[in-house]
Structure 1
């Protein structure tokens, strides 16, 4: 009896497990830390290493792209493998090969760039974020070909693996815009996320966007005597405090006019699915190092961090900060704010709303400047989207028929640029778990989950053509 497609995929993955892990360990040994200029050559070496492995996998087109064309920005890797089927949909896989800084002195038990396997886990910087989750696609693709007998994938498969994600992807959108014709796709698969837990496999349906700013308030031309002038001229530190106090209303809703315009509301189905997750708020608070929850009235904790827009005060300061007293009216004060955005919100409109709101709060005699950072757009794929259902089916096959639940990510990433520029739905296929310790000492990946990620990808390439036709 010939094996079923599911068993053939698993058999191939298990047979090639050791070679896959050996190659991954070699890649993890390259300290591709994009945030540190002294590792620029290592980031390039990481890109070249991946490019060679993609050629070995069978990709007929593999290129290393420099985002700004000058070599000053960290390189990305592009690969493409057309399908033999003329009607096949096109899928783009996104991930990143750069990693966070890491040193033994940070609390690592061993050298962060000398990976080790212990107890079914691989420890090393990048094991989960994101080299392990990028690399399982090579094994998954080979398993797909072996199980189906195909000589090319059932989809037109493209990869874009950037080298600056851990530095905020400063050149990513420009890279995508410049190469939009070559990156065009019917769906984007992002493997830079995770699951709820080892025993609760999930698919992320969206990520929040972000906008941030620094507001500088100017009062007198220099610090002045509070006895001579206090109470008779505006104090920028006091105005900064009032500005912060005006940011939210009594229900913890953001009080900036127009802030909620266009927000895509949570559906009843999404709220029910979130409520199904085994969420322990007391445990979550311990992880947050917080002693209580607080947020927008009428929403649960998960709903607040995944699906509602927020405003946070990241810093406030001004005037004398040294020991003892200094009786002055300070010349200036500063406030740093960030806004997490959800589907339906436009970062450019949020910036205009914040500028208008801030100007309206200030009394005569206070000048101000606002500087915004580069925004990240939110992205969301509806639960009933055929491609999302395809991802869930494929993961369920890899996880032996388990029910796949749905989550969102409270953080932000460059996936929304792909959705915005390419006009394609973004789907998330990630198998990392919270205990993997992204950005932390002793980052690790669960080996069984990496292999299930490969199986999920193998099933997905066979399933997506029907979903996207």
Structure 2
């Protein structure tokens, strides 16, 4: 899928360069608002962040910019129709809430007082996700200035959530309430990143997630292991047996039907992953691990991006204090999570786990399984014309071939896809060193402005090459 990037548009680059200082001043103003959705004491700040964005969108030229209320924190919606009624409509998703941060966490400067140092902007939310939301506004303005348009080449909508860092608890309901207003032909998610500073990439998929807790109950109380051990069922032993039985000798998940329907990696995708400059030793250092291990027949990147997994997140039961205590414990607990890929059904996996556990436990062990919901996987086909437009736009901005990645984590992209029935594209320019959720979060300014340039080119390319109808 390699192509020679088109040359950049000097008018776009000049506009972005000339607006650099004003843009960074605006972004810094927004970053000073500590919109921490997880902290009830910051609820007013989260609302202030939404108000700031809605006002800025109106000043940018959006004829519609609204605050959408939820049972939690507010979201922001904006809309700017194209003057071409046949042009596709694109919805840009991001979030304006941020993770908690304070100087004593290890920050080198106040986390909500942005600092520009060595070509980087340091502040909570600089990369995740305020910077990546705001570059769309600069890109749109550059698009209009370079083309002389008074409206964008495609109809653009924005939905900027206020609770992503708290698990998006009210996001599905928000989508259901406003499905008609959000109607579009494609979604662009700008809450992801690239491989690194020198290797620009487009993410094409995220895994889904379902996780649970299994509580096991044996004797009515802890009992003496000398008097009763080996003659009554031990819930801690059964928790360990369940954990051990979760994978076979090839590290494949043993739940019946677990792999049914999955979208397998194509040879083209495997080849594209293999092109990436992956340093496994460096990756292991990041993982704080001594060796790789996983499903046989797949590389490390394939395992974390494109294969489903089952993980034991925690196992507990019985005596945990110093020294020994010779008991058969009364209870034990197992916490599991399953990362899913395209084609899997989280509800079927939950049902399979219920049946699997029930058939493996002996008489005398009672159990309860509690699931905490599910997030569905999301995958963009490599041959989708909108993805090709995004790849061309990014290649034009960066002046080099764009490669493809996926992400092993999960997010709300599938909620958007399922609610709106359209493909999801990922446009993110953050890099691993940006330190999402960590002290000294930053954004590389050169990449931030490349993101704006990509957005400026994207709208023309979509209008020219893709008719969603």
Deviation at 1:359, TM superposition (A): 1.1
Structure 2 partner of 1:44:
47
Alignment partners' CA distance in 1, 2:38 and 2:177: 24
Structure 1 partner of 2:403:
405
Contact 2:8/2:397, CA 8 A, preserved across alignment: no
Contact 1:5/1:147, CA 8 A, preserved across alignment: no
Structure 2 partner of 1:435:
433
Contact 1:208/1:377, CA 8 A, preserved across alignment: yes
Q: Is structure 2 residue 23 aligned with structure 1 residue 24? A: no
Structure 1 partner of 2:279:
280
Alignment partners' CA distance in 1, 2:358 and 2:171: 32
Q: Which 4+ stretches in 1 moved above 3 angstroms? A: none
Alignment partners' CA distance in 1, 2:402 and 2:383: 14
Alignment partners' CA distance in 1, 2:346 and 2:170: 18
Residues paired across the two proteins, number: 461
Q: Give matches, 1:252-267, under 5 Å.
A: 252-267=251-266
Structure 2 portions without partners, runs of 5+: 1-6
Normalised to the residue count of structure 2, the TM-score between the two structures is: 0.97
Alignment partners' CA distance in 1, 2:258 and 2:431: 33
Structure 1 partner of 2:3:
none
Q: SS in structure 1 opposite 2:429?
A: coil
Q: SS in structure 2 opposite 1:374?
A: strand
Deviations 1:45-94 (A, max 9, x none): 000000000000101111111223xxxx0110000011100101110000
Alignment partners' CA distance in 2, 1:380 and 1:101: 30
Alignment partners' CA distance in 2, 1:102 and 1:356: 43
Alignment partners' CA distance in 2, 1:65 and 1:186: 21
Structure 2 partner of 1:300:
299
Q: SS in structure 1 opposite 2:363?
A: coil
Alignment partners' CA distance in 2, 1:248 and 1:94: 37
Contact 1:64/1:77, CA 8 A, preserved across alignment: yes
Deviation at 1:355, TM superposition (A): 1.1
Contact 1:256/1:353, CA 8 A, preserved across alignment: yes
Q: Is structure 2 residue 184 aligned with structure 1 residue 222? A: no
Alignment partners' CA distance in 2, 1:6 and 1:226: 77
Alignment partners' CA distance in 2, 1:218 and 1:465: 61
Deviations 1:419-468 (A, max 9, x none): 01111100000000111010110000000111000000010011112332
Alignment partners' CA distance in 1, 2:35 and 2:402: 33
Deviation at 1:354, TM superposition (A): 1.2
For 1:15, which of 15, 18, 21 is the aligned residue? 18
Deviations 1:303-326 (A, max 9, x none): 000000000000000011011111
Alignment partners' CA distance in 1, 2:100 and 2:225: 46
Q: Give matches, 1:278-357, under 5 Å.
A: 278-357=277-356
Structure 2 partner of 1:361:
360
For 1:424, which of 412, 422, 425 is the aligned residue? 422
Structure 2 partner of 1:179:
178
Contact 1:124/1:442, CA 8 A, preserved across alignment: yes
Deviations 1:190-230 (A, max 9, x none): 00000011110000001000000000001111111111111
Alignment partners' CA distance in 1, 2:340 and 2:466: 28
Alignment partners' CA distance in 1, 2:126 and 2:284: 27
Structure 2 partner of 1:74:
73
Structure 2 partner of 1:269:
268
Q: SS in structure 2 opposite 1:263?
A: coil
Q: Is structure 2 residue 453 aligned with structure 1 residue 455? A: yes
Q: Is structure 2 residue 63 aligned with structure 1 residue 60? A: yes
Q: SS in structure 2 opposite 1:375?
A: strand
Q: Give matches, 1:49-128, under 5 Å.
A: 49-68=52-71, 73-128=72-127
